[in-house]
Amino acid sequence: MPDAKAYTDAPQTMTILMKQRRRWMNGAMFGTAKVLENFINMTSCKRTKHGFCRKLGILIFMLYLSTLFVLQFFIVGAMFAAIYAFFD
């Protein structure tokens, strides 16, 4: 619908925006940590009746999540550095 309008409360300042993004990143990081804690249970061959392809897909997805988990530590610093360089 081209005439639809949506209103949102945008952060007032860049500092508030960065704090909001940091909270969101922390939430994503802790959610990923919980998934990785259950890595063995999710990929265990004994506890599931899934086929080989599905188990392989889950394993690849878990490796992807592990990579994201590690890289999330660098995202916050990269965001602050990029904003600092942009305004400098």
pLDDT higher than 70, residue 1 = no
Per DSSP, the residues of 10-53 read --SSHHHHHHHHHHHHHHHHHHHHHHHHTHHHHH-SSS----HH
Q: pLDDT of 49-87, one tens digit each? A: 778 888 788 888 888 877 877 787 777 777 778 887 888
* Mean pLDDT, rounded, for 33-43: 75
Q: What confidence score (pLDDT) does residue 48 get?
A: 67
Expressed in angstroms, the distance from the first to the final Cα of the chain is 41
Q: Which pTM value belongs to this model?
A: 0.48
DSSP 8-state class, residue 2: T
Name, in order, each residue with C-beta under 8 angstroms of 76's C-beta and a sequence gap of 6 or more.
Answer: 21, 22, 25
